[in-house]
Structure 1
Amino acid sequence: MPLIRLAEQTVFDPADGTGVLMDTTEGVYFELNPTATLMLQAALRFETADEAVRHLAEGIDAGESELHEGIRSLAAQLAESRLIEPTGAGADTAS
């Protein structure tokens, strides 16, 4: 299971490097900057935060702790907006 799972009603479009998430039932629209878009793509692809961070470190000039915190913060924001499943996996990025 990926680190972060989108909620059933959430649509993610990473087009043009600036990701957009939309809750199709509530009409909530969430725009991501290019770095957050890469973080979300990695979190949707990999099962652990460590895997996602290793992948992100190849293209983002940041330390591992910064990348872990970025994923954690992004997951918290998306969970607050109910755009991801509340599995807790995105919040616990120390795995």
Structure 2
Amino acid sequence: MSTKEWTYTSNERFGVYQEITFEKDNHNPATIEVVNPEDFSFSSETTAENARVSLLTLEIPAEVFDEIAIAWCRKRKLHCVTFNRSERRSKHAATD
């Protein structure tokens, strides 16, 4: 049995975790978990070269994805610039 190190959880629907490691830095892949996504699709096809190509698409509310990104940056000690909601709206309006 493995142990999960949760980086982010929201309302028990959205979460990001890594399997725990005993190394100083955890290089295990990040896993995004979504319980009962409102909209998702999965498709798989074989190319002309006989290679299998799969695609998983699901929706995560923008505000939740912002929180996931910030939590991940903090955990990995990455430089993050954060804005409050009104600053984000004004920046998006300026680029539209």
TM-score range, shorter chain: under 0.3
Q: Give TM-score scaled by structure 2 length.
A: 0.24
- Between structures 1 and 2, the one with greater helix share: 1
Q: Give TM-score scaled by structure 1 length.
A: 0.24
Which has the bigger relative contact order, CA under 8 A and spacing at least 6? 1
